[in-house]
Structure 1
Amino acid sequence: MIENQEGAAAAAKAAPTAYKPDWLRKPTGQDMAAFFPKEAGRRGVSGTATIACKVVAEGRLGDCEVIKERPAGLGFGEAALGLSKTFRMTPPPAGQIGEQSVSIPFTFQAPRMATAQDGAPRYKPQWLRRPTEDELNAYYPEKAQDREIGGSARLTCKVVEGGKLSGCMVTEETPVGLGFGEAALKLSKIFRMTPPPPGATGEVTIPITFSVPPSLESRFFDGEWREGPAGVAAIIVVSLALILGGLVLARALRGDRRVDL
């Protein structure tokens, strides 16, 4: 009888302690929002994912893999894997680190979309590709170049599939008649914005400001005469320099010791 009791105690001592993981750090609402899939957010779609991980040193999760994702293809599994790096759980007993696996389900709730008065989703577009300074200079109107005048234009467009702009119209142009509206329409073909959610109109208003390109601010830097007010000013400065230089030379030839400009 004593031998049986001793054998049972030895077996209990040898058996591994059951691991019951508990949270040390759960994901916060901010964590969930930060990792929410962009495409799902754009569509306003919620989803779920389940990952399986091993609990390693300090309660971190390692060797995680997605075992379930719904709906597929919108990035909920990838978002769950990203979130797993922020988790902490109670470490497993000594000798079981990296051997204990846990299954973690996630529910991603799409944020509520603001709606307009007519009930349609409110659209808040973001730039995917905006014009560069070189592109603005390239489309700068020729009439404005001749006068070295800056200007602006305002467009109303619809954002369609792929974030392209369609049906653009000039609603404002300053000053009128120098081509800033036409230049803005040409530029609109290279813009890209986030597409609108289903049901939204996708209408956007885009103000564009054209500044005088740096290459037009001075036209006499490379030794080549160019037309325009800046060129006239440059040639006047050069002429004055030549006249003053001639006076200096004349004074020097007369034997003056001091030469001032």
Structure 2
Amino acid sequence: MTRSVLIGAILAVIACGAADADPSGRDPIWTAAPSPGDMDRATPVAGRLTGGAASLRCVVAADGALGACAIEAEQPQGLGFGVAALGLVARLKMKPTWADGVSAVGANLVVPFTFEAAPPLREVRGRRGEAFNGAGPYYPDRAFRNRVGGEAALDCQLSVDGRLHDCQAAWEYPLGEHFSDAARVMAQAGAITAAPRLIDNRPVADERVRVIVPFGSLRR
């Protein structure tokens, strides 16, 4: 899947029907979007288990960026989804014309964001608990040959000793480069770990968590 198609797929979830403030119902043409990792990291801690949504009202700038954004609505309220959406606006960009070629500069745009429910996010570490630099030791062959970076998220059971097991792929970016497969292999081999959450200075046993595993430098 090409990068342009992937952007369209992400925005179909993030910002479908975003031009409802335009009386003619014109559609924006998006050229940049938050990645799955951007969305995952931005999800408020208090709302990760439930997920949520927010919508922003913004003004289209001459370069296609969105400015003067304000929170229109959020659900559930009070968990930080509106603020999270504001933090993602800089990663959204559209052409400064609508799909029919009419200028969109200065138009109001209502952009909805959906934040998926997910387990608590824990920082991925190396085999001995050291910082993980994204260099492997397992790296998809084609991505390595083409010098393509990326990342993948795994939902795993986290043992008190930091081992990740029973892992399932949550997402990968870019699609089709097998980063999630490589991340699962590293988890099975113990090449990646995570620190368990502490309650009263005692590690939580076998909590379901999410880790985001980087692979090299992400080219976007």
Fold match (TM-score > 0.5): no
Greater fraction strand: 2
Quickly name the TM-score band, shorter chain normalised: 0.3 to 0.5
Greater fraction helix: 1
Asked which structure has the greater CA Rg, the reply is 1
Higher relative contact order (CA closer than 8 Å, sequence separation 6+): 2
